[in-house]
């Protein structure tokens, strides 16, 4: 009976890792739709959010069932609590990818991002991708040392967002108010994706050490 219980715990971790991969692909596809003004990809990201929500709910239900029926303690209890919180992070990252895709769709057939800012958005997307990938590995391996390193990537994301705002506030910005709002929102969305990856890493630290960071 206990063997089955631990198999269920392991399966929940596997599902978390799989869901992280799904969210990672959604962010990458939303970025592609944004910079290439690709309506088909944008619609795919938006429609795919339902699958993320359903997968999240399924894992959440299984987690709550274990909490209710197995009365876990110590590390097992922390794992299930951390899982519920990481599911919320993943669901929010999926929502943020949809926000990016919706900005892309709203400005079609043009790109919502001026050409000279494409490299900055690409850099933000690359950092977000790396952070989500790191979060996935941290969850899979309970890697506390890697979790600490993720904070440095978050600092890089913050610097990129500041660069984006400098462009918006500079004298050379002549694209109007609506594009400025779009770009400002995009910077916020990518930054928040990174924040949620960091949050996931901190949950793992809590799981391993029992200490909140």
pLDDT in tens, 5-62: 889 999 999 999 999 999 999 999 999 999 999 999 999 999 999 999 999 999 999 9
Q: Where do the domains of the chain lie?
A: 2-209
Percent of the chain with pLDDT over 90: 79
Q: Which class is domain 2-209?
A: mainly alpha
From its phi and psi, is residue 47 left (phi > 0), alpha (psi between -120 and 50) or beta?
Answer: alpha
pTM of the model: 0.94
Report the C-alpha gap between 75 and 210 in whole angstroms: 8
Helices (H), the chain: 2-36, 39-70, 74-106, 118-141, 144-169, 177-209
Gyration radius from the chain CA atoms: 19
CA dihedral 36, 50, 80, 65 (to 10 degrees): -170
């Amino acid at each position: 009976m206990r063997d089955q219980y631990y198999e269920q715990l392991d399966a929940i971790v596997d599902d978390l890792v799989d869901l992280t991969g799904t969210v990672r692909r959604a962010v990458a596809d939303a970025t592609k739709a944004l910079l290439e003004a690709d309506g088909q990809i944008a619609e795919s990201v938006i429609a795919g959010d339902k699958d993320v929500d359903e997968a999240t709910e399924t894992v959440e239900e299984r987690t709550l069932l274990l909490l209710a029926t197995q009365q876990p303690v110590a590390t097992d209890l922390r794992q299930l609590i951390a899982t519920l919180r990481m599911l919320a992070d993943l669901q929010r990252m999926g929502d943020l990818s949809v926000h990016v895709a919706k900005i892309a769709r709203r400005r079609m057939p043009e790109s919502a991002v001026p050409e000279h800012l494409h490299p900055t958005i690409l850099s933000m997307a690359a950092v977000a991708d790396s952070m989500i990938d790191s979060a996935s590995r941290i969850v899979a391996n309970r890697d506390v040392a890697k979790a600490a390193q993720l904070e440095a990537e978050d600092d890089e994301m913050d610097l990129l967002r500041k660069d984006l705002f400098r462009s918006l506030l500079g004298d050379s910005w002549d694209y109007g108010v609506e594009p400025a709002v779009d770009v400002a929102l995009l910077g916020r969305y990518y930054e928040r994706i990174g924040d949620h990856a960091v949050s996931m890493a901190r949950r793992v630290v809590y799981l391993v050490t029992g200490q909140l960071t």
